[in-house]
Structure 1
Amino acid sequence: MEKKGYSFTGFALTAICAAIVAAWGAYSISQHNYQSRLAALSVEADQLQTQVKSLEQRLEREQVKPSPVAGRELRSVIQAEGDEILTALKSRDAATLARYVHPQQGLRFTPYSYIDLEKDLVFSVADIPTLFSSDRLYTWGSYDGSGEPIALNFDNYYAKFVYDQNFLAAPQTVFNQVIQRGNTINNFTSAYPRAVSLEYHFAGFDPQYEGMDWKSLKLAFEPVGDTWYLVGIIHEQWTI
């Protein structure tokens, strides 16, 4: 009987020892896997930091570099260029207008204050000189109020949504300020984050409308090196 009891006890001890060894092995494997995962995460973190640094450097390169002219000097440069552009528009001189258009981005036309980057039409420098002579119909957006498509050739669009007033003689010009007028969202800053603006503004024409007949023509400029080019013409007025 004692011999059998001893054998059972020995067997139990052997089983316990085997279980301990197995548990320790599993623990060791788990620790190894844990350490391996930590090492992998560390490598991934280093890679992410490298990517973030690369993106930061890219953003820094793409930011607008300080212009050699600033403050009042920059306003003077943009004002002179804007007046020349409006002179070309007033005289319907598309060839001269084309010389001011951004060589890569072209020129976007926006009929109301809200700039629709997907639907507003953009014309390249090569397209500009023939705009007035073309009878081609374009859809420029939708009319305020009715929502009907603005289907016009450039000549008719120009008469209604570009130079419908003598903006060259506007009593107020606003440099690089976004002023919310009316109830249409003015998203100039988000649509043109790298641009400066020059707005030619009429506060109104008929006193009975108490300023609700205001109109503006806003020009957007972006730099290429030291030169500022026209990228957008935004026509603004009271909307429903």
Structure 2
Amino acid sequence: MKKAFAIFSLLLALSCEKKQDKNPAVATDNIKRSNERTDTKQDALSTEVALKKTNDELIQALKVGYYDIFANYIHPEKGVRFSMYAFINKNEDKHFTKTDFEKYLPTKTVFTWGSRDGSGEIYKSTLDKYLKDWVFKKDFTKSEYSFNQFRGGGNSLNNLKEMYPNTNFTENFIPGSEKYGGMDWNALRFVFEEFDGKYYVVAVINDEWTI
């Protein structure tokens, strides 16, 4: 009897172990928010592959509002410039160093970002709101990706290659709908420069059909 009970206890213990194996505890390291860059040594990846990976991380960070992660990709010396449309105006577009970006992000300081195409209305908002309402105005996680190529193009002058020669850029393109004849497309571009063996963002450019 004792022997049978011992065998039964052993089988019960093994059964519990198997059940536990099927439902392991979720490792917090896999889901916790991290503000660290996930760089890979450049010699391990081609520039195109490395920037595709970085582009996707930036898109994900912007989508969920993890701007501290985005901040880690801002160029340490040149900072980052935000352009509302394809035409880059270094005299008027807002520019932030990494320090200033982190300083103003949580504040209610209102900046003038430019003027809306068509209406000419001056666009003013906080940095946080600009990132949410303008930079990520569409869900670019569902966009079409391209490297050093433009998919979107409207009447607005695109001077990216003139303003940032010898650099690489990525484009996240969302095609327009049939309802509007494809004219409601949107694009989000990141311009990268290398610094100490790592790629950093020097410009964030939105683009869409302009009048």
Alignment TM-score, normalising by the size of structure 1: 0.66
Name which of 144, 169, 178 aligns with 1:197. 169
Q: How does 1:118-133 map to 2 (within 5 A)?
A: 118-133=91-106
2:183 equivalent in structure 1: 212
2:70 to 84, 88, 97: 97
Q: In the alignment, which of 141, 147, 167 is matched to residue 120 of structure 2? A: 147
Indicate conservation of the 8 Å contact 1:94/1:128, yes or no: no
* Aligned: 1:107 with 2:86: no
Residue of structure 1 in register with 2:146 after alignment: 174
Match of 1:223 in 2: 194
Mapping of 1:25-174 within 5 angstroms? 73-170=46-143, 172-174=144-146
Could you tell me how far 1:104 is from its partner in structure 2? 0.5
**Structure 1 spans left out of the alignment, 5+ residues:** 1-67
What amino acid is aligned across from residue 196 of structure 2 in structure 1?
Answer: G
- Secondary structure of the structure 2 residue equivalent to 1:207: coil
Q: Which entry has the higher C-alpha Rg, 1 or 2?
A: 1
Aligned residues: 170
Q: Which whole-Å deviations, capped at 9, do the CAs of 1:165-213 have from their partners, x for residues lacking one?
A: 111221x111012456110010000111132100000111x31111100
Q: Secondary structure at the match of 2:179?
A: helix
Query: Is residue 107–residue 232 contact of structure 1 (8 Å, CA) maintained in 2?
Result: yes
Give per-residue Cα distances to partners, 1:112-146, cap 9 Å, x unaligned: 11111110011111122344422111011111112
1:232 maps onto 2:203 in alignment: yes
Tell me how far apart the structure 2 counterparts of residues 80 and 130 of structure 1 sit (CA, whole Å).
27
Q: Distance in 2 between matches of 1:179 and 1:193?
A: 19
**Greater RCO (Cα-Cα under 8 Å, separation 6 or more):** 2
- Deviation beyond 6 Å, 4+ runs, structure 1: none
RMSD of aligned alpha carbons: 1.8
**2:152·2:173 contact (CA, 8 Å) conserved in 1?**
no
- The Cα shift of 1:90 comes to 1.0
- TM-score, normalization by structure 2: 0.75
